[in-house]
Chain A
């Protein structure tokens, strides 16, 4: 019994420690930073300083003057100006759209790989992850060349549009470019969990359904799809969450109004010397994602209850 408990701790200890060190503590620091003032040259307004007379480090903050060091203003700013809320909505919309497009594209592909002869499957999976062998930024830059007005892709599209009398469209530096590249970058993250799930399905179930008179659509909708839901959820989480925080893609291929919440957070830390407001935005983003995950769990539970 005791050995068992020790083993549990040994196994779960390192990941717990990792989460504590690199997630819980930094999150707590960030939460505290959200209530402080920015320093004049970046960072935060210091709470302690070296006293030039004594040479000792002294705490500057005390019960009387804490209002000069701690503030709710950063949160007030977030809630008072609707632009920030709008940017959240827009980022969720971008990430959601990316997830749905990835799902629609990845599902048939994962299904085909899972149903192909066993000896080919490993090769096909390898082909799906092949793009990861080149650097992420290089792949985004390649899209910039493809989508640029002087690129063959954009010129072909505009030539076709010209025939039907629609003026040339701008592909690079647009919403379209941001969604397209987000989908491209995240697609393998949707294919892999779906494939892992679909591969394990018992084909006898489909045969049985067919024997009982179910047509192709019924077999998919009543057997394959419900069984694949864990893969769908895993893929959706793997796509939605990174897409939501993405800043490099909108930076490179987005236009002047293409930014997402990640860009704004990065701007607060790297350009605006406003760490506290950047912390507020990060906390709000984390809370929003947690709420969404909680909601998804609730819906998932409800679904199970109905099934029973």
Chain B
């Protein structure tokens, strides 16, 4: 069974248990951003059975005819889904997809450093306000991902993370350009390591990655603590789902895998091992109590209101975002 998925999404433990159950071998291939995955799939990458895209990646994949509808008869466990995550506008009636986790894009930080500097990480200002950044110069990284960084800048300016308005995009880009000279790098690959080494103090990143950074710092017995928090201006949130490739060599194993991952206990493993939020209602009893207390994993009703699921932008807006991103990356 060939799985094309986010790095750091499903633990090797879970994969091993599935391999024992299906008596098959799971071959995993990873990607670091949704756009990278889309680029490879549209270019005709073949041989994958199950793909684990972010939900905003599902409409393009479906419109390109790269997905096959799920056979619900083979997925009895799909009833375990939390209704809040089932049947979303990105995939009505879960025709193609079954969600397995959600991640929030937020700020991870070196708790001791920020405390000594007197900086409050619960606002996006810590990433975007030049006044605060003056104290953090060269110690901040943001994801190398236009969708996530522009969404955060939009929320910081009080707009929707899915804004399609050119003037709002303009403001967000101005915010990013003003902050960029203070950032160390655009980094989606090594920010977990840089945080746990103490090389950087603030990272705009994914909740599951920052969970790992926190665990790594504890395991390495660092003199400082890594923590992460939601921002009061609101955060972008992305559910990730499993879908089956149109030309999957083994659709039978693909369904078996998705049903396996929808089982409460297996689904809970995603949260327990990777620190992602869980869209599976049956998983809750199996999730560590300590993790349920983390807002980015188990947000309360108030916090849920501030989380905005990223949608697929229309073509004109996306082109404008991408051009803006090129200008941001090239401009001095």
Contacts and interface: CB of A to CB of B under 8 A. Distances in A.
Given A148-B194, A263-B329, A267-B326, A42 B184 contact: no
Contact of B35 (A144, A251, A273): A273
A41 B189 contact: no
A40 interface: yes
Interface stretch (A103-111, A116-124, A215-223, A252-260): A252-260
Interface string B174-186: 0000001101111
Contact of B198 (A150, A255, A259): A150
A258 B329 CA distance: 9
Contact of B33 (A150, A252, A268, A271): A271
A273 B329 contact: no
A84 B185 CA distance: 20
A267 B232 CA distance: 31
A43 B189 CA distance: 25
Contacts, number: 95
A19 interface: no
Nearest to A277: B326
Interface in A237-281: 251-252, 254-259, 263-264, 267-274
Given A42-B38, A42-B42, A256-B181, A173 B138 contact: yes
Nearest to B329: A259
A148 B199 contact: yes
A272 B330 contact: no
Nearest to B332: A257
A148 B146 contact: no
Contacts of A269: 39
Contacts of B117: none
Given A256-B180, A263-B329, A272 B322 contact: yes
A87 interface: yes
A270 B36 contact: yes
B325 to A, nearest CB: 7
A170 interface: yes
Interface in B314-332: 315, 318-319, 322-323, 325-327, 329-332
B181 A150 contact: no
A172 B199 contact: yes
B323 to A, nearest CB: 8
Interface string B154-194: 00000000000000000000000000110111100110001
B326 A272 contact: yes
A150 B39 CA distance: 36
B291 interface: no
Interface in B287-332: 315, 318-319, 322-323, 325-327, 329-332
B199 A271 contact: no
B180 to A, nearest CB: 5
A43 B45 CA distance: 13
Contact of A41 (B64, B138, B194, B199): B64
Contacts of B181: 256-257
Contacts of B144: 251
A41 B63 contact: yes
A149 interface: yes
A256 B185 contact: yes
Contacts of B332: 257
B184 A41 contact: no
Interface in A25-69: 38-43
A258 B326 CA distance: 13
Nearest to B179: A256
B184 A173 contact: yes
A150 B38 contact: no
Interface string B132-165: 0000001000001110000000000000000000
Contacts of A268: 326
A254 B186 CA distance: 9
A83 interface: yes
Given A148-B197, A149-B199, A254-B185, A271 B35 contact: yes
Interface in B100-147: 138, 144-146
A251 B325 CA distance: 15
A263 B185 CA distance: 14
Contacts of A39: 42
A259 B325 contact: no
Contacts of A170: 138, 184
B331 A83 contact: yes
B185 A273 contact: no
Nearest to B139: A149
B183 A270 contact: no
A264 B330 CA distance: 8
B84 interface: no
A270 B42 contact: no
A255 B184 contact: yes
A141 B194 CA distance: 12
B73 interface: no
B249 interface: no
13 contacts: A39-B42, A42-B39, A42-B43, A43-B42, A83-B331, A86-B330, A173-B184, A251-B144, A251-B189, A256-B185, A271-B322, A272-B322, A272-B326
Given A41-B42, A42-B39, A256-B181, 4 more contacts: A256-B185, A259-B329, A264-B329, A268-B326
- Nearest 9 pairs of A and B residues by beta carbon: A272-B322, A42-B42, A41-B60, A173-B185, A173-B184, A83-B330, A148-B199, A271-B35, A170-B138
